[in-house]
Amino acid sequence: MSTSLRELLSAVTTLTDVDSRSTPGFEGGKAEAKKAMAALGNELAELQRRLYANGTGGDPRSVLLVLQGMDTSGKGGVIRHAVGLVDPLGLRITSFKKPTTEELEHDFLWRIEKGLPQPGIIGVFDRSHYEDVLISRVRELATPEEIERRYGAINDFEQAYFDGGGTIVKCMLHINSGDQKERLAARLEDPAKYWKYNPADLDERARWDDYQKAYELAIERCSTATAPWFVVPSGRKWYRNLAVATLLLEHLRALDLAWPAADFDVEVEKARLAAS
């Protein structure tokens, strides 16, 4: 996998230009991707441990992985296969469902803020505050003025998280309408997948083009220098998982994480321990 996937996947502006089955930055197929995944797993796990170790010592840094995408795009698969490469103790995963009555009484960012990772932690948002400019736009759950306000509020919010030591990795898992049809059909063929299917999914599917437009707007309005969007072609699951793992790895590498130094006298402690 190319080491500059960050650059490769952040240049997108028009979703329809992106082939969902393309594999930017990666030459091989499924078998090679499996090997590449195993190869990067150790480094990813090691850097996560360093991030965690530093967090326990007062380093404010944390990482937030935001996963967005149409139904069946594979947010759950990414969590299992890419995020699952690191120690679960250092993870905090938050799934954002339809807002509760209490959540609706607050600003849309209220519940999001509560989900931000503590220092040393890799937070994962399975859906996110972007739903408030995606489904809210398509379904007209808020006025156009309010949606407009939200783009700015999101940028401010993400900037504040960044300023506090946060690294944001926003991934839009891109599939096309045909990919989704295939995957929904698979759910209807397999009793072990019925639970993932909801008849209302087809109502959302009927608004495919509106959702694509809403995604394009969100990507355009909320791709900032500190928190760009990455559009991850997700028609091939093995590429999608490898790409997100690679993006995480690239961002962790950029943090230049060393093990924290001892805040005690090592020799003194060795002597104390020996005498214990």
CA distance 205 to 198: 11
Helix (H, G, I), strand (E, B) or coil at 229: strand
35 binds a second copy (CB under 8 A): no
**Among 66, 112, 184, 247, which residue sits at the site for a second copy (rule: CB under 8 A)?**
184
Under DSSP, the state recorded for 143 is: -
Instruction: Show the tokens assigned to 52.
Output: 């965690």
6 touches a second copy by CB under 8 A? no
CA–CA separation, 7 and 204 (whole Å): 31
State yes or no: residue 269 binds a second copy (CB under 8 A): yes
Question: According to the binding rule CB under 8 A, does residue 159 interact with a second copy?
Answer: no
Does the footprint of a second copy cover residue 273 (CB under 8 A)?
yes
Q: Determine the Cα–Cα distance for residues 222 and 10; give it in Å rounded to an integer.
A: 12
Query: Could you tell me if 194 and 187 are in contact, meaning their C-beta atoms sit under 8 angstroms apart?
Result: yes
Verify binding: residue 31, a second copy, rule CB under 8 A: no
Could you tell me the smallest distance in angstroms from the CB atom of residue 41 to a second copy? 12
Cβ–Cβ contacts within 10 Å for residue 206, how many? 8
According to CB under 8 A, which one of 54, 62, 73, 128 is a site residue for a second copy? 54
Helix, strand and coil percent figures for the chain, each rounded to 5? 55, 10, 35
Going by C-alpha positions, the residue among 149, 148, 154 that lies closest to residue 64 is 154
Is 100 a residue that touches a second copy (CB under 8 A)?
A: no
Number of residues that bind a second copy (CB under 8 A): 43
List, in order, residues 6 or more apart from 107 with CB less than 8 Å away: 153
Query: Residues 66 to 95: which contact a second copy by CB under 8 A?
Result: 76, 79-80, 83-84, 87-89, 91, 93, 95
Site for a second copy in 223-252 (CB under 8 A): none
Q: Is 195 in the site for a second copy (CB under 8 A)?
A: yes
**In the complex, which residues of this chain contact a second copy (CB under 8 A)?**
53-54, 56-57, 76, 79-80, 83-84, 87-89, 91, 93, 95, 124, 126, 181, 184-185, 188, 191-192, 194-199, 202, 205-206, 259-262, 264, 266, 269-270, 272-273, 276
